[in-house]
A and B are shown apart, each in its own frame.
Chain A
Amino acid sequence: RKEVEQDPGPFNVPEGATVAFNCTYSNSASQSFFWYRQDCRKEPKLLMSVYSSGNEDGRFTAQLNRASQYISLLIRDSKLSDSATYLCVALSGYSTLTFGKGTMLLVSP
């Protein structure tokens, strides 16, 4: 079983919509979590870290639920430029970053 699982999507939403992605992880020892963004045929880039208390960066909100072992990403007021694949990432042990397969978001006019 993959350690980090995501719905592959695609999620098709109109501009201005709010959309949420969930990600579940199986390793309860995972210490830290992150969301990466990957544009089509480009490299992944860090979008934001996920803190236990939840954190917000502009239109983006990330939350962690350790009891249920899931991470969420909420995007408000979606823009066309938000179209991308969003990768959920868990850090386990000293050096192991495990990437989910990603969730594709398509924002349409």
Chain B
Amino acid sequence: NAGVTQTPKFQVLKTGQSMTLQCAQDMNHNSMYWYRQDPGMGLRLIYYSASEGTTDKGEVPNGYNVSRLNKREFSLRLESAAPSQTSVYFCASSETTAGTGELFFGEGSRLTVL
């Protein structure tokens, strides 16, 4: 049972380059999320998708775009990477957005922007 799978696990970019982080879940969850985690800042929500076909901005959406490709997949795109986007990115999913509070996280993608 894979749960939430993110790719790539590690990536180094130069300033201005673009890339897409891929995320897939096999738990038939409706809601999916992208967080970033920085030292001293905790987890911050970038974008989320409450259900297939919808996406909404979180706390720190600037510089990112997302696509909810289908129920399983939710990708995060950096169009023009900046050093401030160096971070660990976590994708997560949950059955619904409300109530249980249980998010299932992927293993994280460590991105460095030079």
Contact = CB atoms under 8 A, between A and B. Distances in A.
A49 B101 contact: yes
A100 B107 contact: no
A101 B40 CA distance: 7
Given A32-B99, A91-B98, A94-B97, A45 B105 contact: yes
A94 to B, nearest CB: 6
Contacts of B53: none
Contact of B107 (A2, A42, A91): A42
A81 interface: no
Contacts of B108: 41-43
B27 to A, nearest CB: 14
Contact of B31 (A87, A95, A101): A95
Interface in A17-55: 32-34, 41-46, 49
Interface of A: 2, 8, 32-34, 41-46, 49, 87, 89, 91, 94-97, 99-102
Interface of B: 31, 35, 40-45, 48, 50, 56, 90, 97-103, 105-108
